[in-house]
Structure formats: structure tokens, C-alpha cells
């Protein structure tokens, strides 16, 4: 199957190397160590052979070759140690940086981009794909240099012994260090990418099953879910089978050329001897050195096959980094001040990549203090109005004006300061209750947090918890009721004190009594603020002074 890739290998290498610039020092030391280690390996074999020959009386300098052989052995040990330490220190440093960068990229394109995306796959990219890049930074750059240096050294040595050896070795090196690795990479890219994608799907299914375990049990869907996971597992196994097959095939090929090189050196020695040119010492030393250099060089093919997964992972990360956000920060933002009016002027909208119009020439004016309820059939476009107001998306036609200023001219920071959004469920972080409320205002004092909790009607409940405001939500999260979680969300809003509060089905998780309480809290504590409230329940909207109905892709006053 032919696959299309978003980036060429060259492009990906350039980007990865650009990312690696910040750990240049580590990479230089680890690469130098790798080169010295590989050269020392060649030296060990070559000088070792000469040492043996000197011991047998074929050549002189027994002591010198002995010292050189032992020196090379020490150098191998030291350089391998340094290579391992510095390459990993650098690689782990860069991975930490990439995690932050990926979060920034997601932050830039979210929330529009996140709508409809698999959380598990995203987590796989953020955790596992990034870890896979460790291989590039820790195990690739050294071998790339070795693959040029070792053949070059051996070919020069071969020329010194006899040019015939060099002409025989050059095609073998070209085969092992150029033709085989590049063919392996070309043939295996799709396999690597497929493996990473399928792994993402599998992790996503597992995560989804964990999240929805309650519904799975209630509806007896365990068997079906297990089958789904098994199917995703089979797909991963299938992809990993091809990856293993590819890896084994390309790892075996270079072996053949290493043996061929040894045979050809012997053939050359025979041909030269038949012409009366005898250099047994040079031939044996070259044969050993060439074997050492070839075994280091053929490592490259193995490195390349391991890179298949790395490139698959890098492609998925770069795709996120290169995703353009639906809406961007204005170049010269204009401050709108406290929001007095909001106007939807002739707004039409279709979701990106779709034809279907959700809003069609919608007009609406909202004034400060309006408490507006929006109702309408499911899928009519109620939430879309809020998403446009929050600038998750931009209208396809028309404009949204805040105090007469087009919303695209207002910075996201100001927009988010002035407009708060409360959804069906409030996400609680693994931190204390106080910190969870203070998410809305990190500089808030404990008095401010307490006051916000009191206004939201959750203070009494918090005081009953073992550590009060310091109670850790990590352990308590599942024990809080929908209403308690929602009240923490409301406390956040009070703390932030926005001009407008948008609510999308805020009470759908609450029973009638708690819903009434929550709405009463909002409508009394927030009487002077603008509220836009979406709900299917007419009881939820009773306190609103304006009720709008979504109909025919627009809103109509009821
Ligand atoms: N990201 C998206 N891409 C494409 N279509 C979308 C997207 N999000 C929503 N839609 C579609 O847009 C339409 C309006 O969705 P919206 O969520 O605004 O409806 P709603 O009135 O709030 O529905 P509900 O009451 O069920 O929450 C629906 O048909 C929905 O399937």
C-alpha cells in the first residue's frame, strides 16, 4: 500500500537537529566519544593483529603494539561510557523541552482542534511518541559520523597497503553505509508510521474503557469492549509483525557484505601473491581493521530500522505543531473595556471542512445585565453560539462585536478575562480544593477563595472535609457529587469575576433541588452580570429575563 507522508526524511532530520541545537554541547561530546570509540575498536583489532604478528616474529615493535592495543581497549571503555552518559543526558533534556513545546502547540490550536479528537491518541503522542524521539538524539547522530569516518580511515589504510584492497572495499562500504540504510528507510517508513498510528488507536481504546468503566458495567458492554480492544491489539500485532520482519531482514543483509569483504581481502591477497607482491602483515592488519570498521558501519542499518518508529512518531508530533489554529491572536489588539453590549451581526457559520450551515444570517444584541436562556432542539446550534463568542471558531460570514469592537481584534487574554464558561462537568485537578478554585485567579488570597466558595454555596461542605480547603482532590475527586463539582466551577467564576458568564447545560448533572439552588445562587449573586444559559430543561431557564429559541439556523425571541 502506498502511503503519503507530510514530511520528507531530510525535512524531519533538519527539524530534529534544529530542536537538538539547545543540547549542542552534549551532542558534540557524545558524537566525539562515539567516533573515538569506533576508531579505537578498529585500532584494537588492527594493533591487536600486529601485536600477535610481532609475537610470532613476523614484524617488530612488540611492546609498542601491545601498548597501543591496551590503550585502544581503555579508550573504548571510556568513550562508550561518555557517549552513553552525554547522549542520554542531552536526549532526556530535549524530551522535557519537547513535552512543553507540544503542550504549547495543543494550547494554541485548542479547543477547536480538540473537539472530536481521541484523548488516548493525543496522550500517546504526548507521552509515548515523544519518548520514541530519544532514539534520534541518543543513538543516531554518533553513528551518522562514524559511518563516514570509519570507511574513510579503512580505505586510506587499504590504499597504503595496496590500492587493490581499496577498490575492492569501496563498493562494499557504499552498499553498507548508503544503499542498504536508505533502501531500508524508504521501504520501511510506511510500516513504522502504521505501527505508531495503530498503537495510538489501541491506547485510546484502553483509556476510553477505563474512563467509561461505569457505563460499560451498567450496560453489560464488557464483552463488546474487550472484543474491540482485542481487534485493536491484533492490528498492532500485525503492524509489529511487519516491523520485526523488516528489522530482521535489513539487519541480516549487511552481515553478508561483512563476510564478503573478508573473502575479497583474502582473494586480493591471493591475486597480489600470485604477482609476487607479498605483504602478509599489512593484509592481516587490514583484514582485522576492515572487519571492525564494517561491523560498526553496519550498525547504521540497524539504527535506520529503529529510526522508522522515530520518524513515525516525529511526523505525528510535527503535524500537531504545524496545525494552524482556527482563530489567531490579533496583531494589534484593542481593549474593549467592561462589556456592555454583544452583537451578532449577520453571522453565518459552518464547521471547518463541512458544508452544512449551522447558523445562517443570525442577528442578536445582548445588553449588560441580560440574563438570557437559549433553548432549542438537540443539534440546532446552541453550543456553537457560545463557541463563536469565545472565539474557538470564527464566523464564516458576519461579525461578532463586543462594545462595537470586532471580537477578532480583542486579545484572547482579555476575552477569557471578561467571559467565563461553565460546562456540564467541572474538571478538578489533582491538587487541593483551594488550588482548584484558585485556577481562576492564581494570585487569590485564602480569604478571596473562601468568599468565592461561600457565594457558590460550597464553603459549608468544604469545612466538613478532613483537611478543609487543603483537602487533596486526587483522592476526593470521585467522591464529590455532580452538584459539588459544579459549585467548585461556580466558585471559580466568582473568583474570576468576569463581565459575562456562559453556561452550557450547567445543571444537567444535578437533581431538581440542587439545580434550583445553583440557579438561585447565580441569579442573586450575579444579578448585575450578563448571563447566557443553554438548557433543554425549561425549569432551568425560568429565572432568565430573555428566552431565545434556536430555530431555522438563527435565534428567535420567545
Ligand atoms: N467540530 C464540529 N465539526 C463538525 N460539526 C460539528 C462540530 N461540532 C458540532 N457540530 C455539529 O453542529 C451542529 C450544532 O452543534 P451544537 O453542539 O451547537 O448543537 P446544540 O444545539 O448545542 O446541541 P445539543 O443541545 O445536543 O448540545 C450539530 O449538528 C453538530 O453535529
Question: pLDDT tens digits for 514-535?
Answer: 677 777 777 777 778 899 999 8
Q: Report the interhelical angle of 141-161 vs 163-174 (nearest 10°).
A: 160
Which atom of ligand 1 lies at the shortest distance from residue 115's CA?
A: 1
Q: How far is the CA of 395 from the centre of ligand 1 (A)?
A: 15
The answer to whether position 329 is within a domain reads no
Question: pLDDT tens digits for 355-376?
Answer: 899 999 999 999 999 999 999 8
* Cell numbers at 143, concatenated: 553513528
DSSP 3-state of 407 = helix
Q: Between 212 and 41, where is the model more confident?
A: 41
* Total domain count, the chain: 2
If one counts every other C-beta atom within 10 angstroms of the C-beta of residue 187, the result is 14
Q: Tell the residue nearest (CA) to atom 13 of ligand 1.
A: 379
- Are residue 289 and residue 385 in the same domain, yes or no? no
Triad 390, 393, 397: Cα angle to 5°: 110
- CA 52, CA 43: separation in Å to the nearest integer? 14
Q: What is the pLDDT of residue 1?
A: 41
Q: Tell the residue nearest (CA) to atom 2 of ligand 1.
A: 351
Name the residue with cell 558534540: 28
Question: pLDDT tens digits for 377-391?
Answer: 888 999 999 999 999
Q: How far is the CA of 464 from the centre of ligand 1 (A)?
A: 40
* Cell numbers at 473, concatenated: 482532590
Choose the final residue of a domain: 293, 321, 349.
321
- Are residue 261 and residue 391 in the same domain, yes or no? no
Res 4 pLDDT > 70: no
Q: What is the mean pLDDT of residues 329-352?
A: 94
The answer to whether position 2 is within a domain reads no
- Are residue 307 and residue 441 in the same domain, yes or no? no
- Are residue 146 and residue 262 in the same domain, yes or no? yes
Which atom of ligand 1 lies at the shortest distance from residue 385's CA?
A: 18
Question: pLDDT tens digits for 47-92?
Answer: 999 999 999 888 888 999 999 999 999 999 999 999 999 999 998 8
pLDDT band of residue 331 (cuts 50, 70, 90) is very high
The answer to whether position 115 is within a domain reads yes
**φ, ψ for residue 12 (rounded to 5)?**
-65, -40
- Are residue 435 and residue 476 in the same domain, yes or no? yes
Q: Between 303 and 451, where is the model more confident?
A: 451
Q: What is the mean pLDDT of residues 18-45?
A: 90
Q: What is the pLDDT of residue 372?
A: 93
Alpha-carbon distance values, 539 to 341, 454, 511, 546 (Å): 27, 25, 12, 14
The answer to whether position 389 is within a domain reads yes
* Residues facing residue 373 across a β-bridge: 533, 547
> Is-cis flag, bond preceding 111, omega within 30?
yes
- Are residue 350 and residue 248 in the same domain, yes or no? no
pTM of this structure: 0.71
The answer to whether position 328 is within a domain reads no
- Are residue 374 and residue 461 in the same domain, yes or no? yes
Q: How far is the CA of 465 from the centre of ligand 1 (A)?
A: 39
Q: What is the pLDDT of residue 537?
A: 77
The answer to whether position 149 is within a domain reads yes
Q: How far is the CA of 480 from the centre of ligand 1 (A)?
A: 29
CATH code at 542?
A: 3.40.50.300
- Are residue 315 and residue 402 in the same domain, yes or no? no
Q: How far is the CA of 503 from the centre of ligand 1 (A)?
A: 16
- Are residue 250 and residue 155 in the same domain, yes or no? yes
Question: pLDDT tens digits for 126-140?
Answer: 888 888 888 888 888
Task: Output the average pLDDT for the chain.
Answer: 87
DSSP 3-state of 406 = strand
Ligand 1 pocket mutation pick from 114, 117, 325, 383 by most atoms within 8 angstroms of CB: 383
Q: How far is the CA of 119 from the centre of ligand 1 (A)?
A: 19
Q: Tell the residue nearest (CA) to atom 10 of ligand 1.
A: 351
The answer to whether position 336 is within a domain reads no
Res 145 pLDDT > 90: no
CATH code at 210?
A: 1.20.1560.10
Q: How far is the CA of 380 from the centre of ligand 1 (A)?
A: 7
Q: Between 239 and 107, where is the model more confident?
A: 239
Strands ordered across the beta sheet of 405-406: 359-367, 341-349, 397-402, 405-406
Which atom of ligand 1 lies at the shortest distance from residue 550's CA?
A: 21
In order, the DSSP letters of 67-114 are HHHHHHHHHHHHHHHHHHHHHHHHHHHHHHHHHHHHHHHHHHHTTTTT
- Are residue 508 and residue 428 in the same domain, yes or no? yes
The answer to whether position 331 is within a domain reads no
Ligand 1, CB within 6 Å, residue ranges: 115-116, 351, 354, 358, 376, 378-384
Return the C-alpha torsion angle 267, 268, 271, 275, nearest 10.
-160
Q: How far is the CA of 381 from the centre of ligand 1 (A)?
A: 6
- CA 449, CA 454: separation in Å to the nearest integer? 9
Question: pLDDT tens digits for 256-279?
Answer: 888 888 888 889 888 888 888 878
- Are residue 383 and residue 315 in the same domain, yes or no? no
Domain that holds residue 66: 11-321
Triad 102, 105, 108: Cα angle to 5°: 150
Q: What is the pLDDT of residue 2?
A: 44
If one counts every other C-beta atom within 10 angstroms of the C-beta of residue 432, the result is 18
Q: What is the pLDDT of residue 517?
A: 74
Q: Report the interhelical angle of 163-174 vs 280-321 (nearest 10°).
A: 20
- CA 257, CA 274: separation in Å to the nearest integer? 25
- CA 321, CA 19: separation in Å to the nearest integer? 13
In order, the DSSP letters of 147-163 are HHHHHHHHHHHHHHH-H
- CA 158, CA 67: separation in Å to the nearest integer? 23
Ligand 1 pocket mutation pick from 114, 325, 349, 380 by most atoms within 8 angstroms of CB: 380
Q: What is the pLDDT of residue 288?
A: 84
- Are residue 141 and residue 49 in the same domain, yes or no? yes
Amino acid at each position: 500500500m502506498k502511503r503519503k507522508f507530510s514530511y520528507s526524511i531530510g525535512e524531519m532530520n533538519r527539524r530534529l537537529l534544529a530542536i537538538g541545537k539547545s543540547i549542542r554541547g552534549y551532542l558534540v561530546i557524545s558524537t566525539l566519544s562515539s567516533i573515538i570509540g569506533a576508531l579505537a575498536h578498529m585500532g584494537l583489532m588492527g594493533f591487536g593483529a600486529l601485536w600477535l604478528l610481532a609475537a610470532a616474529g613476523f614484524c617488530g615493535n612488540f611492546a609498542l603494539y601491545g601498548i597501543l592495543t591496551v590503550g585502544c581497549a581503555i579508550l573504548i571503555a571510556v568513550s562508550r561510557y561518555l557517549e552513553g552518559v552525554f547522549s542520554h543526558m542531552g536526549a532526556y533534556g530535549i524530551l522535557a523541552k519537547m513535552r512543553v513545546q507540544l503542550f504549547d502547540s495543543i494550547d494554541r490550536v485548542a479547543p477547536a482542534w480538540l473537539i472530536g479528537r481521541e484523548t488516548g491518541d493525543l496522550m500517546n503522542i504526548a507521552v509515548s511518541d515523544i519518548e520514541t524521539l530519544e532514539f534520534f538524539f541518543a543513538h543516531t547522530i554518533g553513528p551518522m559520523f562514524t559511518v563516514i569516518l570509519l570507511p574513510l580511515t579503512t580505505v586510506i589504510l587499504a590504499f597504503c597497503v595496496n590500492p587493490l584492497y581499496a577498490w575492492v572495499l569501496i563498493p562494499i562500504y557504499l552498499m553498507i553505509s548508503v544503499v542498504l540504510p536508505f533502501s531500508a528507510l524508504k521501504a520501511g517508513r510506511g510500516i513504522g508510521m502504521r505501527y505508531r498510528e495503530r498503537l495510538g488507536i489501541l491506547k485510546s481504546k484502553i483509556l476510553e474503557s477505563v474512563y467509561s468503566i461505569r457505563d460499560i458495567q451498567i450496560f453489560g458492554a464488557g464483552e463488546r469492549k474487550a472484543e474491540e480492544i482485542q481487534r485493536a491489539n491484533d492490528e498492532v500485532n500485525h503492524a509489529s509483525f511487519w516491523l520485526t520482519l523488516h528489522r530482521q531482514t535489513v539487519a541480516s543483509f549487511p552481515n553478508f557484505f561483512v563476510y564478503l569483504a573478508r573473502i575479497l581481502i583474502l582473494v586480493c591477497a591471493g591475486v597480489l601473491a600470485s604477482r609476487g607482491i607479498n605483504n602478509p602483515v599489512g593484509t592481516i592488519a587490514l583484514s582485522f581493521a576492515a572487519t571492525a570498521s564494517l561491523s560498526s558501519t553496519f550498525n547504521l542499518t540497524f539504527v535506520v530500522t529503529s529510526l522508522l518508529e522515530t520518524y513515525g512518531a516525529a511526523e505525528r508530533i510535527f503535524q500537531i505543531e504545524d496545525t494552524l489554529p482556527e482563530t489567531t491572536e490579533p496583531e494589534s489588539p484593542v481593549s474593549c473595556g467592561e462589556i456592555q453590549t454583544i452583537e451578532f451581526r449577520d453571522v453565518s457559520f459552518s464547521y471547518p471542512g463541512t458544508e452544512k450551515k449551522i447558523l445562517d444570517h443570525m442577528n442578536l444584541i445582548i445588553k449588560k445585565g441580560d440574563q438570557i436562556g437559549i433553548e432549542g432542539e438537540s443539534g440546532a446550534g446552541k453550543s456553537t453560539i457560545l463557541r463563536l463568542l469565545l472565539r474557538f471558531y470564527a464566523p464564516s460570514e458576519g461579525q461578532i462585536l463586543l462594545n462595537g469592537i470586532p471580537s477578532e481584534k480583542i486579545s484572547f487574554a482579555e476575552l477569557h478575562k471578561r467571559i467565563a464558561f461553565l460546562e456540564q462537568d467541572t474538571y478538578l485537578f489533582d491538587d487541593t480544593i483551594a488550588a482548584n478554585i484558585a485556577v481562576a485567579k492564581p494570585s487569590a488570597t485564602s480569604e478571596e477563595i473562601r468568599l468565592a466558595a461561600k457565594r457558590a454555596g460550597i464553603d459549608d461542605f468544604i469545612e466538613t472535609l478532613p483537611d478543609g480547603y487543603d483537602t487533596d482532590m486526587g483522592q476526593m475527586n470521585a467522591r464529590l457529587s455532580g452538584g459539588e463539582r459544579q459549585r467548585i466551577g461556580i466558585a471559580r467564576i466568582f473568583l474570576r469575576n468576569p463581565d459575562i458568564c456562559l453556561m452550557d447545560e450547567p445543571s444537567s448533572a444535578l437533581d431538581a433541588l440542587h439545580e434550583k439552588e445553583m440557579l438561585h445562587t447565580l441569579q442573586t449573586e450575579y444579578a448585575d452580570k450578563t448571563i447566557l444559559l443553554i438548557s433543554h430543561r425549561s425549569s432551568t431557564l425560568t429565572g432568565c429575563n430573555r428566552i431565545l429559541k434556536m430555530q431555522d439556523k438563527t435565534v428567535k425571541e420567545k
